[in-house]
Amino acid sequence: MSTHAATAPPASPAVRKGLPPGPRAPAFWQTWRLYRDWIGYLEECRRRYGDAFTLNFVAIGRWAYFADPGALRRVFQGPPDVFRAGEARTMLEPVVGRRSVLVLDGEEHMRARKLLLPSFQGTHVRTHERTMEAVTREEMAGWPTGRPFRLRPRFQAITLDVILRAIFGVDAADRRERMHRAIGRLLAVANGPFVLVPTLARDYGRLSPGGILARRRAAVDELVYAQIGERRADPGAAQRDDVLSVLLGARDEDGHELDDETLRDELMTLLLAGHETTATALAWAVERLVRHPAAMRRLLDELREEPAGGDYLDAVIKETLRVRPVIGDVGRTLGAPAEVDGHLLPAGTMVAPAVAAVHLDPQAYDEPEAFRPERWLEDSPPGQAWIPFGAGRRSCLGAGFALFEIKVVLRTILTSLSLRAARPEDERPRVRNITLAPGRGAEIIATPR
Ligand code: HEM
């Protein structure tokens, strides 16, 4: 599609030039408000300014938020050279690398996405079921019983181990252990706020944040390249299901194999995009369930009938991702001027579907704040306004993998352990690295069933 159609200002007099209105408070205050209460602040701005509003942030400037379904279609389905997702995510490049599917746009992006897709189709994802179950059982064996502990770090250990086995194909426990440590050290600095500011993320020497990041990345790279080298030399790789082995068998349009740098970048992409997100979603599912005994009872009844989990488990997961979206913002940088919801926005504007506000829209959901999985089982379930994985050609590539993993991990835990909240108050969403996670880490008390 040409960019021309999207850039030409429509003749309609209703179209206003420039960004939508928004709070006048100083940028530091708006940044702080969003940081402290992401979901609440977006919802408050939607109530005050309507479905289109602009927020102004420290270091990253103005973002135009949209919550109207038509506007969202425009942003998600609009020409990819105008609504540029890769450009909007350049701050991830120091970790994922320049060839990552996350940061590419246009043709290059479509080529990268096509190579990854087969590994994330339903039938392929299900080949990892036993691995997901085994990892959960191993992790669960070390959990305390009868006293409070935080589940989210435990879920992070599970999702990282699943990625190292199912995606990186690391069989040896000692290499996985070394990778756990090196990746933990890298993410501790990579997820810090400075990566949002590209000039700070540069390597200015040993003690600068950029320098520390570069050293920790090199330590992870060494292990990842060793894994790629070993798998390349493995004559049995073609029979394996892990994503690295599948990618080693893939050929680009010219019939070439992927080089090591591309493989490294995609593996790190899947790790960054898939590890903490899935762990946070799991933490929220438990945080909501232990505070909604009727939903927990109904789920346990279903699991007794259907140990693999059925429609109610799926509904619990969908409802969790609706009321507690894990990723607060998805963005597109405008590669050319474009009209969205009656606003003619200049090139370079950051356009963001307001995920949390969309999920709490009273026009789309009855009692939008209530955790009610049943709504997904009713005659005409809602659904248009459900975008925890984004939408369109840049939507989450690992959504099927994540939903399946959440299902397997939850059912494995809930059929072995009885869980209750360590404290009765709801946990509030808090920014934790790239996700909005339960403030106390999903603190629970577990006892054997
Ligand atoms: C509950 C867990 C997860 C959530 C909530 C989530 C959410 C998202 C969101 C919101 C996006 C951006 C969509 C957009 O801009 O329209 C995204 C992109 C992406 N996600 Fe996920 N994700 C999850 C798990 C995973 C997993 C498990 C993987 C892979 C192992 C993964 C891989 C990716 C990739 C590769 C992209 C970039 C796609 C592209 O640009 O073409 N995600 N995810």
Q: For the segment 279-311, what is each residue's pLDDT rounded down to a tens digit?
A: 999 999 999 999 999 999 999 999 999 999 999
- Does residue 66 or residue 380 have the better pLDDT? 66
pLDDT of residue 402: 98
Band the pLDDT of 193: cuts 50, 70, 90.
Answer: low
Terminal Cα distance for the chain, rounded: 57
For 91-148, give the DSSP string.
GGHHHH-TT-TTT--HHHHHHHHHHHGGGGSHHHHHTTHHHHHHHHHHHHTT--SSS-
Structural domains in the chain, CATH included, are 3-448 (1.10.630.10)
3-state secondary structure of 338: strand
Give, using CA atoms, the residue closest to atom 39 of ligand 1: 394
Mean pLDDT value across residues 228-237: 94
Contact 170, 228 (CB under 8 A): no
How far is Cα 16 from Cα 349, in angstroms, rounded to an integer?
15
pLDDT tens for each residue of 122-171: 999 999 999 999 999 999 999 999 999 999 999 999 999 999 999 999 99
Q: From the CA of 86, give the closest atom in ligand 1.
A: 40
pLDDT of residue 9: 47
Q: How many residues are recorded in the chain?
A: 449
Q: Count of alpha carbons within 13 Å of 161, Cβ hemisphere only?
A: 21
Output 292-299 pairs: Cβ under 8 A, ≥24 positions apart. Answer: 292/371, 295/371, 295/372, 295/373, 298/373, 299/414
CA 402 / ligand 1 centre spacing (Å): 9
What's the one-letter identity of residue 241? D
Structure tokens at 204: 């200015």
pLDDT tops 50 at residue 4: no
Q: From the CA of 390, give the closest atom in ligand 1.
A: 16
For residue 309, what are the CA distances in angstroms to 139, 152, 286? Answer: 21, 22, 15
Mutate to test the pocket of ligand 1, among 101, 155, 241, 389 (most ligand atoms within 8 A of CB): 389
Closest CA to 372 of 306, 322, 442, 302: 322
pLDDT of residue 12: 57
225 burial via Cβ count (<10 Å: 0-12, 13-18, 19+)? middle
341: left (phi over 0), alpha (psi -120 to 50) or beta: left
Band the pLDDT of 5: cuts 50, 70, 90.
Answer: very low
Band the pLDDT of 432: cuts 50, 70, 90.
Answer: confident
SS3 content of the chain, % helix, strand, coil (to 5): 55, 10, 35
CA-angle at 254, arms to 76 and 238, nearest 5°: 90
Mean pLDDT value across residues 105-111: 95
For residue 198, what are the CA distances in angstroms to 89, 90, 102, 299? Answer: 11, 9, 17, 46
Percent of residues, the chain, with pLDDT higher than 70: 94
Give, using CA atoms, the residue closest to atom 22 of ligand 1: 396
CA 397 / ligand 1 centre spacing (Å): 5
How far is Cα 230 from Cα 273, in angstroms, rounded to an integer?
24
Structure tokens at 386: 């459900």
3-state secondary structure of 340: strand
Q: From the CA of 243, give the closest atom in ligand 1.
A: 30
- Count Cβ neighbours within 10 Å for each residue of 148-184 and write b for 16 or more, e otherwise: ebebbebbbbbbbbbbbbbbbbbeeeebbebbeebbe
Contact 85, 332 (CB under 8 A): yes
Residues with CB under 6 A from ligand 1: 85, 101-102, 113, 269-270, 273-274, 277-278, 281, 326-327, 330, 388-391, 394-398, 401-402
Closest CA to 406 of 286, 273, 244, 268: 286
CA-angle at 29, arms to 26 and 35, nearest 5°: 140
Give the max Cα distance, the chain: 67
CA 390 / ligand 1 centre spacing (Å): 8
Poorest-pLDDT segment among 142-146, 306-310, 325-329, 378-382: 378-382
Structure tokens at 150: 């935080």
Mutate to test the pocket of ligand 1, among 355, 396, 401 (most ligand atoms within 8 A of CB): 396
How far is Cα 240 from Cα 141, in angstroms, rounded to an integer?
28
How far is Cα 396 from Cα 240, in angstroms, rounded to an integer?
24
Q: Count of alpha carbons within 13 Å of 90, Cβ hemisphere only?
A: 11
pLDDT of residue 345: 97
pLDDT tops 80 at residue 198: no
How far is Cα 79 from Cα 69, in angstroms, rounded to an integer?
17
CA 404 / ligand 1 centre spacing (Å): 14
pLDDT tops 80 at residue 199: no
Contact 341, 71 (CB under 8 A): yes
Band the pLDDT of 192: cuts 50, 70, 90.
Answer: low
Q: What's the mean pLDDT when you consider all of the chain?
A: 92
pLDDT tops 60 at residue 356: yes
pLDDT of residue 200: 64
Q: From the CA of 387, give the closest atom in ligand 1.
A: 10
**pTM reported for the whole predicted model:** 0.94
